[in-house]
Structure 1
Amino acid sequence: MGLFSFFGKRDNGQFVSAEAFGEKSAIQLNMLPELMEKLRELNVDEDRELMLEFFFYTNTHQKAGAFAQELSSLNYQVKYGVSEGDKKLFIITGWTTKVKMKDAVVAAWISQMCNLGYKFDCEFDGWGTMPDQ
């Protein structure tokens, strides 16, 4: 399934359906072991703390702005604007404060981001980091 195949134009303006939220959340959590293994290969152990880069999409400037403000209240560095790849979408991206690189801690953060995104009708599209911070 393609990145945005879960989403389509809905009469009520909703971007993320309940079904898509559940599926995308499961995908994000299922990818965690592989991503953590890659970090371990780069000598990032469980005690290390790294900032995480995050990516969300939504379908209106207002939703993107409201969600960016919510993420800023978590002391995250956030920016948002029109997506370069699709001018009908809005991207919200930025960096967290430092997060301990324990599998359970990162899994809890992913769940928090999926749930918070859904609350603001934004899709959590993933995360990344740089081990040499």
Structure 2
Amino acid sequence: MLAKRKIQIAGLVFLVATLVVIVFPDLIRSGSTDGRFVTEATFNSNLDKQIQMIPGILDQLRKADVTPDKALKLEYFFYTNTAEKAERLAAEIAKLNYSVRHDVSARDQNLFVVTGWTTKIEMKEEVIQQWTRQMSELGYTFDCEFDGWGTDAGSED
């Protein structure tokens, strides 16, 4: 009798958990109680991390003879949990005259990536910090996480 009761309770728990996943998939995936992919806390933590990485990246570029006054195009990356959010962010980024595309992420089929290249930007620390803040805030506005940037130090175009 007790074993039968335990099976019934386990079945009920499984049923409820399944319903929650089906009815509220974004809530489960994002870990957010308001359905957002990027919470305010995640945004702030990620922005801090991105800003802290800039000096190291610029040090590597200096070793490749990229001076602060040299302007390079930057490749940028964002992730989010719906195609609609990725599409809205991509449309906004296009207004900056950046190349942009969005698609399902190759590393996680439940995520969507927005990526492309900026126009040329000077490799001064304060300029890159301002741009990083702008990209992070833009991503947060459209519920997408700014995942960073890269460049081709040898690129002249």
Q: TM-score, normalised by structure 1?
A: 0.92
Query: Greater relative contact order (Cα 8 A, min sep 6): structure 1 or 2?
Result: 1
Residue 9 of structure 1 and its aligned partner are, at CA, apart by: 4.1
Which residue is equivalent to 1:105? 127
Equivalent position SS for 1:97: coil
TM-superposed deviation, 1:132: 1.0
> SS in structure 2 opposite 1:45?
coil
Q: For 1:106-126, what per-residue CA distance to the aligned partner results, in whole angstroms no more than 9, with x for missing partners?
A: 110001000110001000001
- Identical positions, percent: 46
Match of 1:83 in 2: 105
The match for 1:54 among 76, 97, 103 is 76
What SS is found at the alignment partner of 2:119?
strand
Cα distance between partner residues in 1 of 2:79 and 2:35: 14
Q: Which residue of 2 is the match for residue 71 of structure 1?
A: 93
What residue identity is the alignment partner of 2:82? T
- Residue 11 of structure 1: CA displacement? 5.3
Off by >2 Å, runs of 4+ in structure 1:
7-13
Q: Which of the residues 57, 72, 76 maps onto 1:35?
A: 57
CA-atom RMSD in angstroms: 1.1
Superposition deviation, residue 10 in structure 1: 3.6
Per the TM alignment, residue 85 of structure 1 is displaced from its structure 2 partner at its CA by: 1.0
CA distance in 1, matches of 2:149, 2:87: 19
The residue aligned with 2:150 is 128
Measure, in 1, the Cα distance between the counterparts of 2:59 and 2:65: 10
Give TM-score, length-normalised by structure 2. Answer: 0.78
C-alpha separation in 2, matches of 1:118 and 1:10: 14
The CA distance in 1 between the partners of 2:48 and 2:31, in whole Å, is 23
Q: Which protein shows a greater Rg? A: 2
How far apart, in 1, do the equivalents of 2:34 and 2:84 lie? 15
| Structure 2: stretches of 5+ with no match in the other structure | 1-28
Name the residue aligned to 1:20.
Answer: 42
Residues 4-63 of structure 1: per-residue CA shift (max 9 Å, x gap): xxx734454310000000000000000011000000000000110000000000000000
More helix by share: 2
